[in-house]
Structure 1
Amino acid sequence: MSPNKPPHIILLPSTVPSTDLKIITLPHPHTLVPTRYLVHPTHGLHEIIKLTAPTSTPRSWLLTPPSKLSSPPKWLRNGQILQDGSMYICTLMDPLFVLLPRLFPTGAVDVVNMFLPVDDLLEEITKGEEGDWEFVIKSQVTERRLAAVCESVDIGGRKAYKPSREKLLKVLHGKCVRMARGELPATMEEEFVRKPLARPVAEIMAELAEEREGARSVKELEDNVGERGGVDGTEAIRMGSPALPTPSDSQSRQPRLAEASLEISDLLRIRVASEFISNSYLPVCLAEVLSDCLRKSHDFTPLDNYLAELVKIRQEATAARNDYTLKRSHSNEEIVDRKRRKKEVEAVEKKKRNVSRAAKELQMVDKKGMPKLTAFFKKKAA
């Protein structure tokens, strides 16, 4: 390691030995931007993900040599502090993803339309491409994954391969289903499954109110039968006795949206898995093909209907809130106007109460024909 460059913190899978590792550059399968990957001859390709601490809570690393190590590395010396608190995580990645844009290009005609040995096939699809493809070609994992999306024949005791779109769709479909049936990460499950399927609070509160009302009605029926005597109230309700008062059928309750069923949740997980794989590892043309394949393999109608009903309920709830806010605003204006008028009336009454007795008596005098007081202070004419 160069003494002028600070080291980086990289976490490797425990199954990958630290020897024979290479960091290579390949075009990203979705964006085609040059991207760093970690490759091992027997363990295959690994994706490198950088985790950065938020700027609001900066982090740093304190590196110290192990106590059992007699001679620490020169770059570590007696210890070192890294101001950059970033960390890199290497996770196993299917090398098939980086090969897909070459095996199945955007055009309708495939680059390879004949059976070729694996070495010739890899050389054909990576010819003229930028990147460290020789390390991918030499990896033992690549041939196994290449066979999963190719038709194969035996030619002279050797396997020959030709890309197959049918087998590719089968592999991608299997990845989506396994990811959905496995367990999505907690953050993805919360953000993309639970939140979109969550019922509005108004629906839940209305349902609880209906349950309480139903329990209260049953209790009243039992009490009524107990007062009349005879069979037990619960037994009478079970027997459907016509003599018992029953809740009015005319008071029909508004149907409520039930919780999302397991089928709907699983369909949404499959859709989330396909979108994640498409946006992370597939070129746009193959992402569209995968989406069409999933629509043909799964009936997403129950999910779409449920989501549409949720959107309708949320829109109605928003409109009701806006209407309530508007009515409350008008009500506040009316209250302010009443208070203003009341203050004006109180001011007039207070003014009347403050008039002296002489002024009140003067107001009662008939002043017709009497000159005003100011008439006595006018200048006399010359």
Structure 2
Amino acid sequence: MTGRNIGRLLLMSCSITLMMHMYWNAIYRAPSPQRQLIDHSIPIVPFDSIRHIRSVDDRTAENVTRMHHYAGNTNTTGVSECLDPRRLAGKIYVNSNISLAPTYEQIRQLNVIPLQFGHRKTSSCHGEQDVAFIIPLRGRDAQFRLLLHHIYPILRRQRIAFSIYAVTQAGSGLFNRAKLFNIGIEKSLEDRNFDCFIFHDTDLLLEDGRCLYRCHGKHPLHLSKYVDVLSYKTMNYTLECPPPGFNNTLQLFGGVSAMTKQQLRDVNGFSNKYWGWGGEDDDVNLRLWRKGYNVTHVSGEHCSYTMVKHGRESGNPTNSDRLKLLYDSTNRMKYDGLNSLRYRTISVERNPLYVNITVSIGDGSKDARYVNKFLRNACNETLGG
């Protein structure tokens, strides 16, 4: 073969490579319909559109080390064999359009990883945490599918052992999110001896793959400190009627939080008495304060979330008793929580991607009588009652 022919072949090879690169980049860089069902955990744009940082590649190792320290890892380098910074995506394309939520079968086909009834074990990682995701549900199937589609590639890259538990409240009565969390804790521990529990609302989608879904050995973690609908600003507030001895301000603890099994045992889990919207996250925050825990609000530039737009459920109105219950929170924690949990299991479905637990939890009338009997006059002066 002559030198001229070799040159032509090299030119053709370069042209084909360039064309394939352009095609690949077009699919993976733009939020087009072509990539709606593609593993989207890849860097899309620099994160400084939200907060000023150096480039994604420059700070990946630095921040993975810092976030891994939050997870309580004792490795002197801060990064174990399971957390190769090169595997973790930076800024993630977030599809928050419910109408584009894939089916469960499509999600399963796109996540061909070792699964057994929603549990994924990374065999090459030793000493890592075993994580249970607890997601309270009722009537939000499309949101849940959107979350599964979004979170599975992230968890695969983070290489953690995890199970996802959807705890579904049956019926149309008042919603009790915190009680569903407690049920998720109890039912998941019947399956495995989990080290870490992630309490995750179904309408929040992580924006950066370097925010690690882990627990801290000493302090509870609040991961969703920054949310788009709150303009990525923190929420600090004082309680209108705090329990005796509490003079601090609170930071929002809802959305996505992480606690170890020991931390949950120390505070007796969540209160079972919050029916309707509001109060339960502040309640567990007060329990943690009473037990001497300092909640770590992860403030790195990676832990931010997009909220999926939706309306308020008719069965989830604002809880008018929440402020009185908060006043009584720390006095009640010894007998209101995991040790007072009452419910009826309707079904347990072990799907390839997650475990769905459907439960009947009552109507809240007993807890309303408790407030009326013991807290009738609580905070009346403060609340104008």
**TM-score for the superposition, normalised by structure 2:** 0.23
TM-score (norm. length: structure 1): 0.23
- Which protein is richer in helix relative to its size? 1
Return the structure number with greater relative CO, CA threshold 8 A, min gap 6. Answer: 2
